[in-house]
């Protein structure tokens, strides 16, 4: 996708810095492509820029990231944590490990009303939010699946309660203290001709709130992969690594998952699914880390081919396509050489 001139610029940049950090300023029609699979043809097979460095997505149709500046947060930083596991789609228990400088406050029970109350009671308390659960795309809107209490005589259960992305934005409102949202839910960052980016959960959050960073999933994601990614990224943040490079640590953690464990047999293939959207070029979350300047590799529409092969029109189709591609890079994924369709049918997804 790069012109010869742009490729030469990339090579010159990579020779001058220890870590490659790519900023993509994209028109919204190109968000559906899995840019996290970008690789330099000069690199050895199987090496990707988002794993060795970082790939950050910017909205090429909005303000320049240099116009939005955020100061590092004085530690500790606290996240509002939502683990939503409805009766119809249970995902099991998961609690992120607190660090010295990274803390969590869980929403219990994880209903939308309790989520909103937590924000209303402490409007300046939380640096970010983490949603760990299910997502869906329906009627040209992306949604997160909270839970709703349902009583049956003496029994109580929690059932699905979908909330569109713009509803969550209304809940966040003018809370400009919150800077980061981590949305570990299937298809939270999915965008296609049938779903405008601003109608997805991630698109709504990045365009309708004061958030500086939004992390989402561009297709379905394995829940074990999401857990490994979050824990490794938080460990890196705790050590003062900038946010974009902390995500690379998360990707490497996913790739290192032991595939011999049956429940995590294919988890390691999902390293490319998390995406990072940003409105700023300052990725220092905690002030201890020295500043790194992020060079911008501008992707203009004029540098792209006029004709591009069509991608599948659904998240599951795109997932199957790229999983098949990754399998050609990593070799057989199991002794039985399962088909991608069989593989995906058995995955535990969010």
Phi, psi torsion values for 30, nearest 5 degrees = -105, 5
The per-residue pLDDT of the chain, averaged, comes to 80
Burial class (CB in 10 A: 0-12, 13-18, 19+), 235: middle
User: What mean pLDDT is predicted for residues 10-25?
Assistant: 90
Confidence of residue 297 (pLDDT cuts 50, 70, 90): very low
Q: 28: helix, coil or strand? A: helix
**Who wins on pLDDT, 195 or 202?**
202
Decide if pLDDT at 296 tops 60.
no
What pLDDT, on a 0 to 100 scale, did the predictor assign at position 191?
Answer: 77
State how far the alpha carbon of 22 is from the alpha carbons of 14, 45, 269, in Å.
Answer: 10, 19, 22
Decide if pLDDT at 331 tops 60.
no
Q: Which of 120-124, 125-129, 165-169 is the least confident region?
A: 120-124
Strands of the sheet with 213-217, listed across from one edge: 21-26, 54-59, 274-278, 213-217, 180-184, 128-132, 77-83, 102-106
Task: Tell me whether strands 155-164 and 141-152 are parallel, antiparallel or unpaired.
Answer: antiparallel
Q: b or e along 301-335 (b: 16 or more beta carbons within 10 Å of the residue's beta carbon)?
A: eeeeeeeeeeeeeebeebbbebbeebbeeeeebee
What pLDDT, on a 0 to 100 scale, did the predictor assign at position 293?
Answer: 39
State how far the alpha carbon of 24 is from the alpha carbons of 59, 189, 276, 317, 322, in Å.
Answer: 8, 16, 11, 24, 20
pLDDT digits 0-9 by tens, 35-93: 999 988 888 888 999 999 999 999 877 766 666 667 777 778 899 999 999 988 888 78
Please give the share of the chain, as a percent, with pLDDT higher than 90.
37
What pLDDT, on a 0 to 100 scale, did the predictor assign at position 305?
Answer: 38
Confidence of residue 147 (pLDDT cuts 50, 70, 90): very high
Confidence of residue 196 (pLDDT cuts 50, 70, 90): confident
What pLDDT, on a 0 to 100 scale, did the predictor assign at position 7?
Answer: 81
Q: Which residues contact 30 (CB under 8 A, 6 or more apart)?
A: 299, 304
User: What mean pLDDT is predicted for residues 196-220?
Assistant: 90
Pairs from 3-10 (Cβ < 8 Å, separation ≥ 24): 3/303, 6/297, 6/303, 9/297, 10/40, 10/297
Decide if pLDDT at 342 tops 50.
no
Confidence of residue 1 (pLDDT cuts 50, 70, 90): low
User: What mean pLDDT is predicted for residues 282-302?
Assistant: 52
Q: How far is Cα 177 from Cα 127, in angstroms, rounded to an integer?
A: 6
Q: How far is Cα 221 from Cα 228, in angstroms, rounded to an integer?
A: 12
Q: Residue with structure tokens 């999915």?
A: 190
């Amino acid at each position: 996708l790069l012109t010869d001139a742009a490729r030469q610029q990339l090579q010159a940049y990579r020779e001058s810095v220890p870590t490659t950090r790519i900023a993509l300023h994209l028109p919204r029609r190109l968000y559906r492509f899995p840019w996290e699979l970008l690789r330099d043809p000069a690199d050895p097979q199987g090496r990707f820029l988002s794993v060795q460095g970082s790939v950050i997505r910017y909205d090429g149709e909005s303000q320049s990231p240099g116009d939005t500046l955020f100061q590092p947060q004085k530690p500790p930083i606290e996240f509002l944590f939502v683990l939503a596991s409805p009766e119809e789609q249970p995902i099991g228990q998961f609690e992120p490990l607190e660090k010295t400088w990274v803390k969590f406050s869980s929403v219990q029970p994880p209903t939308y009303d309790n989520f909103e109350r937590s924000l209303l009671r402490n409007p300046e308390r939380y640096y970010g939010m983490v949603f760990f659960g299910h997502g869906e795309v329906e009627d040209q809107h992306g949604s997160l699946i909270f839970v709703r209490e349902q009583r049956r005589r003496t029994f109580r259960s929690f059932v699905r309660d979908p909330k569109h992305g713009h509803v969550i934005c209304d809940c966040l409102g003018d809370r400009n203290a919150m800077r980061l949202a981590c949305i570990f839910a299937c298809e939270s960052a999915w965008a296609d001709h049938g779903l405008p980016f601003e109608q997805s959960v991630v698109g709504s959050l990045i365009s309708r709130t004061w958030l500086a960073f939004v992390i989402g999933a561009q297709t379905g994601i394995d829940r074990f992969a999401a857990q490994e990614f979050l824990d490794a990224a938080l460990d890196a943040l705790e050590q003062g690594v900038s946010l974009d490079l902390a995500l690379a640590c998360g990707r490497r953690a996913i790739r290192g998952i032991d595939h011999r464990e049956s429940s995590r047999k294919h988890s390691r293939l999902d390293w490319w699914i998390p995406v990072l959207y940003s409105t700023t070029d300052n990725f220092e979350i905690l002030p201890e880390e020295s500043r790194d300047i992020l060079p911008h590799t501008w992707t203009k529409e004029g540098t792209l081919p006029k004709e591009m092969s069509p991608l599948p029109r659904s998240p599951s189709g795109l997932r199957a396509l790229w999983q098949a591609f990754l399998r050609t890079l990593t070799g057989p994924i199991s002794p039985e050489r399962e088909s991608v369709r069989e593989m995906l049918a058995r995955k535990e997804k969010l």
